[in-house]
Structure formats: C-alpha cells, structure tokens
Chain A
Amino acid sequence: MRHIISPTDLTLKELDDLLNLAEDIIKDPKKYSDAYPRKKLATLFYETSTRTSLSLEAAMLNLGGSILGFSSGDASSASKGESVADTIRVISSYADICAIRHPKEGAPYVASLHSSIPVINAGDGGHNHPTQTFTDLLTIKNLKGRFDNLTVGFCGDLKFGRTVHSLIGALSRYNNIKFVLISPEELKIPSYIKEQVLDPQNIPYKEVKSLESAIPSLDILYMTRVQKERFFNEEDYIRLKDTYILNTRKMSLAKEDMLILHPLPRVNEIAVEVDDDPRAVYFKQAQFGVYVRMALIMLLLGESEGRPIC
C-alpha cells in the first residue's frame, strides 16, 4: 500500500512519470474524464483549506469519481476526542483513497500506519505539503522546462512554511541547484532542513535578509505568506507579517525570465500590481494543482488495483 506523506516518497523516476502524466492530462483532459468512475476520495480536513481541498475534489470529479469528507476538525468526531488512528480505520471502509490535512505535524503519517487505503498528506502543520510540491514542480517543468541549473529563492516564512520545506527537499535531488533563503531572523529555515537535506548533499545555499539584494540572481522566486495560524503570540505575527512585500520596483531588479511562484493564499507579500507581470505565475500554478492531483490519484489508485501507471 503506497502513501504519500513526503514528496520524496516518490523516486525521481516516479516523479518524472507523475509530471509527464499531468502534462498529458493538461493536453487532453477529456481522455481521463472516466478514468475512475465509482471510486471515492475522502477529504479529511481538520484544518481549513481552499485550494488544496477544492483542487483535490476537482481532481477526483474530473476523473469520474466522487468525494466525501469534512472541512474542519469541528465538523468531525475529532471534536469528540476521536483519534486520527480510529478515524482513518473507519474511513478506510467508506472510501478508496483519502487526503488528510491536520494542524499537527505527523498526523498523516499516523493515519498511514492504520489505513487500508492510500493516504495523501494534504498538509501537516508546518511540516510537509507534498501535493503542493508536485504542483510547484509541474509549474516549474511546464514553464521553465528544467529542474537543474536553477537558483531558487525562497522568501518570507521559511520556518513554518511547509511548502518551502517540501520543495527544497524535492529540488535538492536535481543537479546544480542553488538556494537563496530570504527571511527575517525569527523565520529562518529549520535546522533539520540544513542538517538532513542541504548539508549532506553539499547543496549551495545562503541565508539573507534582503529581498532586493537577492532578487537579481534568481531564476525562480518562491514567495510565502507569514502564517498567522502558526504563531502562538500575535505580537510576533504583527511585527513580522509585512517584512517582505514584492512590488513592481523590486521586480525591475529581477531577470526577464524569472518566475514568481506562491502557494497562495496571498495577503500583502505580493502587491496586486505585480499580478499583471507575465513572470507572476501563481494563479497558473493553482490551476496546475488540479492536474497534478489527478495524476497522483491515478498513480495511487492504479497501484492499489495492480494497474501501475509508471
């Protein structure tokens, strides 16, 4: 039984196959419209979400399947004290595949230990968010055409930004990747990313505080929101939330072909005036999220039925 808890749960070959399938779906979505009739996706969202939950639901519907689930912990038996392990045991008998988002880190992993259907981690606290990573990778592949020889800047909340942690892990597997980590002192990347991912593979990276000084060298700029929900202290959030605001003045320092990615939702960190810049691809990125999630559902259901796509 295959589960996707971290983006590195797929080998590079499997990831290539997944992204190739997603690109084929982009070309001819109709071909896949009846791929999984009568299959059910359970979306267990203990934490609110817009894009991830809706794109997963859209993906399953696009494949001809159906959906069930809940959209907050309050709307499930978690509010009565039911454990993740018990919930997933029950859901396993209702659905064919499930996606789980939980505010606590490691909850999807716990679910995978007790599940008899494939589990997709749809985001766990500040830890991992593999389907967003696959979305980010599909965006880069489709619009940049390569994963190697890239200088990628991550800007904003690098401490709690799970999409950042996951994407660094995924991109680190490619050749000649450099990272520029732009954040205030309090929101620097966690030490485990450096110790487990960057240092052992000798991946060049630098940690800086200035977006203006870093932006000219970047091929991709991955902006992130400072997430209010990750702070225990609101004062810290208010002090840090507007540290970085990308605007047209700063964009004038960037390369002509630099891409701006953002997992969304955006608050103030990208000025609305930047949206018209052709380098701003974050809305297209959200659209790619549906296609890559369709490919992922196909991969997992295919494997559990003994019909692997790869």
Chain B
Amino acid sequence: MLNIGVLNQGIVIDHIKVGGAMKIYTYLNLENIDVSVAIIKNARSNKMGRKDIIKIEGTLNGINLDILGALDHKITINIIENGEIIAKKNPKLPDYVDNVLKCKNPRCITSVESVPHSFKLTDKEKGIYRCVYCEQSSKSVPDTITKI
C-alpha cells in the first residue's frame, strides 16, 4: 500500500468509496483552506477492495464532519494529534441536509428557482436521501457535488 507520511496533527478520511475523494475535497473546499492535503485514490483495502483516502495536515475549524455522512456514509474519520489517532468516528447520517446534495430531477422546482437544495434521510441502511420538494433520491457519493 502506498504510504504518504505520518500526520502529526490533522484528520484522515478513510474508507471513501472509490472515486469519491475529489468530491469530498470539493465539498470541504480544501483548495482554499491553508492545510496540506494528500489524496490517495484507488488504494487497496481488505474491507472494500479499493478505496480513496484523504489526509489533511492541519486544523479544519467550523466544519461539521457529520455532514460528510450524507456524501458517503461508509467513511471513517480519524482525528490525529501528536502523531496518534485520538478519535475514530463514523459520521452519523444527518436527518436533513441543506445545500450539500443537489437535486438532479429536471422537473423539480429547484431546477428553475433559487431555493435551498434540501434533502431528508429516508433510508438509513442504504444512506438514501430524498429531495423534500420532489422526492427524487440521491444516494451517498453523488456523481457530482456542486457548491451551492
């Protein structure tokens, strides 16, 4: 397995579904935050076969990491301090998310009017969210994440 240095302080987002790392990178707006980021794509995983990983050296202030559960509910978040994992958590799926997922139904009111893209969790097992306006589903790790 490819290794990218050990973090001293930061977080490791592990067990990301293959192809999902860039989407989470985009959602967290990591490009514009003063942190060092390593993205590992298509890494071997005993549990998943293949996975993506994001390692972030530094602090992410004011970001609700549970929101990431709406993007990929199988991820693990490791909090690192002084080179040690001090906490490991699986984000809970929030019951509602606003402006995280984007409704892709062309018949939805969100496609023509400026209203929040609001989704409700309807299937905890499968991590399925549905648009509160049209009930279109959006699974975790959508094909596109648009900053809304």
B109 touches A84 (CB 8 A): yes
Judge whether B122 is part of the interface by a CB distance below 8 angstroms: yes
Q: How many A-B residue pairs have CB under 8 A?
A: 60
B107 touches A84 (CB 8 A): no
A85 touches B111 (CB 8 A): no
Judge whether A64 is part of the interface by a CB distance below 8 angstroms: no
Count class of interface residues, chain A: 20 to 34
Specify which of B111, B112, B132, B135 is in contact with A192 (CB 8 Å cutoff): B135
Question: Number of B residues contacting the other chain (C-beta, 8 Å)?
Answer: 22
Nearest to A196 among chain B residues (CB) is B122
Q: B112 to chain A: which residues have CB within 8 Å?
A: 104
Q: B136 to chain A: which residues have CB within 8 Å?
A: 192
B123 touches A195 (CB 8 A): yes
A105 touches B133 (CB 8 A): yes
B contact face: mostly helix, strand, loop, or mixed: loop
Q: Which residues of B, 18-36, contact A by the 8 Å Cβ criterion?
A: none
Cα distance A195–B134 in the bound complex, in angstroms: 15
Which of A106-114, A170-178, A208-216 lies at the binding interface? A106-114
B128 touches A105 (CB 8 A): no
A192 touches B113 (CB 8 A): no
- Given known pairs A105-B108, A106-B109, A126-B107, the reply for A196 and B115 (CB within 8 Å) is no
* A residues adjacent to B (C-beta < 8 A): 83-85, 102-107, 109-110, 124-127, 191-192, 195-196, 230, 232
**Apart from the given pairs A104-B107, A106-B133, A196-B135, 18 other A-B contacts in the complex at a CB distance below 8 Å:** A83-B113, A84-B113, A85-B113, A85-B115, A102-B109, A104-B113, A105-B108, A105-B134, A106-B110, A106-B131, A106-B132, A109-B132, A109-B133, A110-B115, A125-B134, A191-B137, A192-B137, A230-B107
* B residues adjacent to A (C-beta < 8 A): 105-115, 122-123, 128, 130-137
